[in-house]
Homo-oligomer: A and B are copies of this chain.
Amino acid sequence: MEQTSSFPHFSISLDSAIAMLLAHTAGPQGCMPLPLLEALCRIAGKNLHARIDLPPFDNSPLDGFALRHTDSAGASKDRPVFLRVVETIYAGEVPQKALAPSECARVMTGAPLPYGATCVIPFEDTDNQPDTVGIFHPLEDHQHYRFHGEDVRQGQDILHQGERITGAHLGLLAAQGFTEVPVFARPQVGILSTGTELMSGPEALSPGKIYDSNRYLLAARVLALGAEPLCSPKIPDDPALIAQAVVELLKTCHCVITTGGVSVGAHDYMPQVGSSIGAQPLFRQVQMKPGGWVTALYKDAKIILCLSGNPGAAAMGFDLLAGPLIRRLAGAAEVLAPKLLGILQDPFSKASPQNRFLYARREGREVFLPKTGFGSSLLSSLIGCNCIVHIPAGSPPLDPGDRVELIPLSA
């Protein structure tokens, strides 16, 4: 019944498991241009470089008068300097005249500065007269002066392949005249819940059965990673039916995630399913808790990652193992979750002989553990969690104030 002997690495470290999954995972499947707004939250498919300087020309940062700063030398309340206003330049216009000495131009915020101007004085610092304007203090070279290219230089990198595209990227791309942006194709991720105990709403629950929640828990995570979930109907504990469903998902999906059937129970069929479909076994157990029973299979150059059926363990297995895999498929430059330090606010009263992971909520640096406990089936304790606390194997019980390593969650 068990296929343990065919698994070359019975129980491996989390880092080794991730490395093995990534070593068997190719990058994204192609790249396509999308209109800017549709590209939000997608992964950039190419590096993009600035087409133009930003700002494209020297311009005024405020409403005022453009002048040569040398003309203002020695100006004071008692001995103002008077300059002739030769034109008014609005944003979007082009200066018609170069400034000769003792001349100035009325300029609005964003207006190009005329040839010869070396600074701008705000309206409110002048007497703001229509034809000849009085200046009451000296200005410095390039005071209130916005240079072309001070934001972005032509040719500069403005988007890096593998970056997640944010609103700030879209603003910058639009300011460069881009209307489309190349993004990587979204990987399709097959999701399959196995277990004779599973039912789906709105059917009334029969005795001994539970409603399948893993499908939604995992599909939401797939979406948060920028991939597309493809959910198969749930399958009872029947190895032939499970094998058929996995093979079907492999036809269109770039990887398949299953839940259930990975432990040592009599109906834990996933290792057997792996050998029946000719998949290469990668590992069967990972040194982590919860979710340590994980069967990883490899077939048709695709990973089949079989997680525990317990929702909390399935979610943890997904976040720690499927996350890097799907980020690699999606073309993300950073496939490993970042790690942060946090300060525990609640006690964790158990010693951790194994590598232990807890869902938790962080606010700034403070980390709060769910009040409802840590059982691997506790769906309610996941609500509001936004990070995973990692407690290394061999740690004693933890107290409030202890520093812990955190993995932030994206959804």
Contact = CB atoms under 8 A, between A and B. Distances in A.
B175 A211 contact: yes
Contact of A110 (B57, B197, B215, B382): B197
Nearest to A264: B63
A114 to B, nearest CB: 11
B210 A56 contact: yes
Secondary structure type dominating chain A contacts: loop
B263 A208 contact: no
A382 B263 CA distance: 48
Given A196-B91, A216-B171, A216-B173, A146 B207 contact: no
Nearest to A195: B91
A395 to B, nearest CB: 20
Most chain B CB within 10 A, of A167, A179, A376, A377, is at: A167
A65 B118 CA distance: 87
A198 interface: yes
A174 B55 contact: no
Given A168-B217, A213-B171, A92 B236 contact: yes
B110 A195 contact: yes
Interface stretch (A5-13, A76-84, A218-226, A244-252): A218-226
Contact of A217 (B94, B108, B167): B167
B94 A151 contact: no
Nearest to A150: B375
Nearest to A40: B220
Contacts of A62: 263
A32 to B, nearest CB: 18
B123 A208 contact: no
Nearest to A237: B90
A205 interface: yes
Contacts of A169: 383
Interface string A350-388: 000000000000011100000010011111111111000
A246 to B, nearest CB: 20
B175 A264 contact: no
A37 B94 contact: no
Nearest to A410: B167
A379 B110 contact: no
B267 A219 contact: no
Given A37-B220, A177-B201, 16 more contacts: A55-B377, A61-B375, A90-B196, A91-B237, A93-B208, A94-B207, A152-B380, A167-B223, A168-B379, A168-B382, A168-B383, A170-B220, A174-B212, A175-B210, A175-B211, A364-B406
14 contacts: A55-B210, A91-B237, A91-B267, A92-B237, A93-B208, A110-B309, A151-B375, A151-B378, A167-B216, A167-B220, A167-B221, A168-B384, A169-B383, A175-B311
